[in-house]
A and B are shown apart, each in its own frame.
Chain A
Amino acid sequence: MEFSELIRTGRAEALLLPGPGQPPVRGTLCITSHHLLLSAGHGSPGDLWLLLRNVDAVEKRVAGNSGTITLKCKNLHVLQLEIEGLEETLDIASSIEALTSLESVTTSYPFFYRPQSLRLGDAANLHPPDHFYQQVALQTDAWRLSAVNRDFDVCASYPPALVVPVGIGDEVLARSARFRQGGRFPVLCYYHTTNGTVMLRSSQPLQGANRRRCAEDEELLRAVLALGGGRGLVLDTRSAQAVQQARITGGGTEAKAAYPGWKRLHRPLERGRPLQDSFVRLVEACTDPSLSMDRWLSRLDGCRWLTHVKETLTAACLAAQGMDREGVCILVHGAEGTDTTLLVTSLAQLILDPKCRTMSGFQSLLEREWIQAGHPFQQRCAHSAYAQARPKHEAPVFLLFLDCVWQLSRQFPLSLEFGEGMLLAVFEHAYASPFGTFLCNSEKERYLCEVKTKTHSLWSSLNQSKERRRLRNPIYTPNPLALWPSVEPQSLQLWAGLFLRWTRPPEPAQEAWEQLWRIVTEQEGGDTL
């Protein structure tokens, strides 16, 4: 396919209207296959260099002989461009629309992006798939690495290497997979070193209306209990009613009688459409400065976003508490096991495991619990809060995770090695990125598209030393304890750095951050004296 067919006009004279903390730019606008460029000439610093993949919605308005195009980006930035010429306006708008609606992965920008400072394939060793297993193996020999999914035959959304109980053979796993939606049989995702309890995740069992059972699945979970203390808890991220309904369509949950020793706890977490709506409504409220105080508060309440944050944190805390304080093994699942399940398991690990709170630990957590665990990034992040098209599979599950991490960082400002900048960067790259890290929906798809060999990894870019000030927390002090956050409404805050990032000037907060760095690095400078 030729990109040039989609570009109706490549050039126009345009003016970028000023926004909060951003000066106007007048110059030549240029559309390339992956970017929109606006340059005042001579490489001036205010040049706009926008990845088209970042555009969520295009709005055009024409008046007389000129027009205005509003570009609403997935990172919530809104750009307004005044373009000379009626035809140019329409052509530019339709070119952007055509280029942004391309769905093919292999023609996306990461396959063309070749920065000089990085080499392809460098990141392959950053987070090797069996690294997690090796960590566990240092503590216990009760778990083994299984290659049952090496060809993605058993489960299309799982990675090739999975950690399972030692006594359970691959054929048992394969049978168990057939009893679970999408083949996602229970696998180990966290080993709690302090007391040897474990956390597993899976999808729902295919119990169905006639309450089917699967001996191998039961055997698998029995083996888990035998290894980890004898008591287990299934944390179902749906309500009991939702489980009832799921049974009608073939799903369900673990029957108490079939899984002795396992108790069940329902902590319903919102996902899919309602979560996407919540996100859209929050962003609407945050981008409307004309609201009165009362309207603002009522819309903040009405969008329910912070309710979702609270519920998510509560569920994660429960899972963490179960392991740490009650000594029970936890199995987390919802329906598919690729959304709310991952929210709970990844947050619980941040709460319990100090290693996850380091820069590299957080990256491998994201890699392991989100990317390799098969969160369908391509579907969930196809559009952000502005798209007019009816959402199909979009949902800000990953953003909700980042928000919860941000809440943790507010309550434990010294305990995370990464700062808000890291969370913002990850958010942006999950929705639109020159890197291949968040492409596709699963490891299988990434393998088929050769993402790992043909694109660069976000992690190697973020780990460059020039990014240090932006991404790291200058006052990080390793904290070996678990982080138990407060989940009271008074303790939760709106993540202003993300939701209000483009509506209010960032200077004072940024300056304070700079100063924090100065204070801390002066100290380090003193040390080297």
Chain B
Amino acid sequence: MLSTHISLEDTPTLYSAPSSSTKRSYIWRLKVEQVKLLDRFSTSNKSLTGTLYLTATHLLFIDSLQKETWILHHHIAAVEKLALTTAGCPLVIQCKNFRIVHFIVPRERDCHDIYNSLLQLSRQAKYEDLYAFSYNPKQNESEQIQGWQLIDLAEEYRRMDVPNLNWKLSDANRDYKICETYPRDLYVPRAANKPTIVGSSKFRSKGRFPVLSYYHQDKQAAICRCSQPLSGFSARCLEDEHMLQAINKANPSNRYMYVMDTRPKLNAMANRAAGKGYENEDNYSNIRFQFVGIENIHVMRTSLQKLLEVNGTKGLSVSDFFSGLESSGWLRHIKAVLDAAIFLAKAIVNESASVLVHCSDGWDRTSQVCSLGTLLLDSYYRTIKGFMVLIEKDWISFGHKFSDRCGHLDGDPKEVSPVFTQFLECVWHLTEQFPQAFEYNEAFLLQIHEHVHSCQFGNFLGNCQKEREDLKLREKTYSLWPFLLDDQEKYLNPFYTPSSQKFTVLEPNTVPFNFKFWRNMYHQFDRTLHPRQSVFKLIMNKNDQNKQLEKEIKELESKIKQQKTRHTDTVLTKESLHCIHADSPALKPSLCFKKEQTLLPVNDAIRTIEGSNTADNRYSEYAEEFSKTEPAVVSLEYGVARMTC
């Protein structure tokens, strides 16, 4: 295939947010000219003409206005060639970040080439072929190592005051001998000895025995997680029962504990026939068993598909939108996940009871519920750093199968499911209900979603820690988190008001009317659907200026104080003479000058706000009426009117 260079001023900014705009040249493998990019929602087939390039990592479209559209191959979920039309051969690309682009390629031959190349480029068989292994953000080795060390889970457990009197670090899984999908370091009740752990793990699906996920210092209650027991219709395991007793005993403030099965009861019962199932309350002392009814990954996948079908419809009416939203069931599922998290948080706060959470394998619904529950309980997770820790702990380290669920490699499509997307959506709903409680904003959630699928960083590759170690991700790839931290001004919520207490519990209201369609996620790239002005930038700027001014005032005040004390203490020196001036008018102009300088960005923010364009909106298409030519015939109407007048 032909190879040439495209020289570009900017690298694809969206995907490589970390790497600055360095001049780089891309080698393209395929170049097709006169390609049309259709507006997805236009009913009048409006389009932009330009050139399409395929590079090793991206698809690039440069339109006649020199606007660039970059699509990472790994983001491509599906490519579809539609039936040939007179204009050319239509090619529809659906991305995992919900971007949908619709090209029309003039020659079928070219379209076929693009189609085949994309199929090949977007589906990798080996981890080593993913972008992360070739992505080079120009960091040196020590920066790379430091980046990976940014999130330290041992430190996080210490923050929760673990190990302590009741909880200890277990080395049972040091070599991944007991459970391959768990991390090496596990925290268990002090009373749980090795035989209990081994026995319990044998009685749990995939060996995922109950371990500590979060310890609530104030209530001395714990959130533990595991997979379903292999109970079948009647099987028991003494070690597993001991394990639960040990968890129960590790909480001195309550006699009973909750066991939350996050599945619908029917699913759990069906599992019994396969030798799995759920805890029998009679066999475990002092447990309170509860189903919460979150559907499985397959139901969620279908639900999202339906949702995307509905909101991708051209000329969608309000009624079709709502009935589609209803029949997709998506918001019902989101509510179910949040309700489960609320149940969990309430058990801890109101009853000081420890809770053991599981689903089937304990890596999808369990991760959702544990992470959301702790997000409600502990304000640390509502900070930027804390949220990274939360994802590292409850999702990455406990073996949420990111690569399978996001389809990083060409694999079983039935393993793909938007479990993590749902988690992010639940967090977004919380940020909407509690606008001041979160340090991060929506852009942060969207950026994380972007990179969970981008395969640009090592964090989300693989399905568990062991697999990541085998892939040597820490040496061969980079961690996302330091890049997000470097960019954190973009992700700050201007309304954030840190609470003085660590444990300010969020009590969201989950009545249906508090849930809405997350437009900025599912239509992130459909610019015409979004508000035309952003409050966010403006407030961020004002906030910054306020802080700046406050700082200046403080500095000046302390200077004045200093000078004053010196002035009274010492005899008149040159310096103190200076201070007398500084105290009075002379300093003021300089303050004013500085202020003006800091004010500039605001105007900038305003200037970037676009007035919108009628051409972007569908109502403009009715306006064709205006330009129709008048029929030249004298209408009958006129004659009739004259006769009767």
Contacts and interface: CB of A to CB of B under 8 A. Distances in A.
Contacts of B597: none
Most chain B beta carbons < 10 A, residue from A233, A314, A490, A520: A490
Interface string B605-622: 010010111101111101
Contact of A415 (B41, B519, B533): B533
Interface string A135-174: 0000000000000000000000000000000000000000
Nearest to A305: B318
Contacts of B530: 486, 491
Interface in A195-244: 210-213, 231, 233
Contacts of A211: 637, 640-641, 644
Nearest to B323: A301
A59 interface: no
Contacts of B617: 317, 484-487
A492 B318 contact: yes
B545 interface: yes
Contacts of B516: 493-494
A120 interface: no
A438 B612 CA distance: 34
A514 to B, nearest CB: 10
Interface in B597-645: 606, 609, 611-614, 616-620, 622-623, 625-628, 630, 634-635, 637-638, 640-641, 644-645
A511 interface: yes
B300 interface: no
A411 B531 contact: yes
A318 B619 contact: yes
B436 A257 contact: no
Interface in A490-523: 490-494, 496, 500, 503-505, 508-509, 511-512, 515-516, 519-520, 522-523
Most chain B beta carbons < 10 A, residue from A307, A328, A415, A486: A486
A489 B623 contact: no
Contacts of B606: 414, 477
A317 B614 contact: yes
Contacts of A496: 513
A301 B322 contact: yes
Interface residues of A, number: 80
B614 A212 contact: no
Interface in A343-370: none
Interface string A294-326: 111110110010110110001001100110111
A526 B595 contact: yes
B535 A414 contact: yes
B513 A481 contact: no
B611 A519 contact: no
A195 to B, nearest CB: 14
A490 B641 contact: no
Given A307-B317, A412-B533, A526-B549, A484 B612 contact: yes
Given A293-B335, A494-B513, A512 B532 contact: no
Given A255-B638, A519-B542, A321 B623 contact: yes
Given A318-B623, A508-B434, A519-B539, A486 B332 contact: no
Contacts of B329: 294
B515 to A, nearest CB: 7
Interface residues of B, number: 77
Nearest to B549: A526
A292 to B, nearest CB: 7
Interface in B18-49: 41
B519 A491 contact: yes
Given A317-B619, A318-B619, A491-B519, A526 B546 contact: yes
Interface string B386-424: 000000000000000000000000000000000000000
A298 B318 contact: no
A207 to B, nearest CB: 9
Interface in B532-556: 532-535, 538-539, 542-543, 545-546, 549, 553
Nearest to A214: B645
A351 B267 CA distance: 54
B316 A413 contact: no
A512 B531 contact: no
A258 interface: yes
A494 B325 CA distance: 14
B495 interface: yes
Interface in B297-329: 311, 316-323, 325-326, 329
Contacts of A212: 641, 644-645
B545 A489 contact: no
Contact of B326 (A297, A306, A485, A509): A297
B513 A296 contact: yes
Interface in B507-537: 509, 511-517, 519, 523, 528-535
A291 interface: yes
Interface in A254-294: 255-258, 263, 265, 267, 286, 289, 291-294
A488 interface: yes
Given A482-B611, A484-B616, A512-B435, A257 B531 contact: no
Interface of A: 210-213, 231, 233, 255-258, 263, 265, 267, 286, 289, 291-298, 300-301, 304, 306-307, 309-310, 314, 317-318, 321-322, 324-326, 328, 410-415, 475, 477, 479, 481-494, 496, 500, 503-505, 508-509, 511-512, 515-516, 519-520, 522-523, 526-527, 529
Given A486-B529, A486-B530, A516-B495, 7 more contacts: A210-B644, A211-B640, A267-B622, A291-B512, A306-B318, A321-B623, A489-B320
8 contacts: A265-B622, A289-B511, A298-B326, A482-B611, A488-B618, A489-B316, A489-B320, A491-B529
Closest 7 CB pairs of A and B: A481-B611, A257-B638, A301-B322, A296-B512, A489-B321, A297-B326, A512-B435
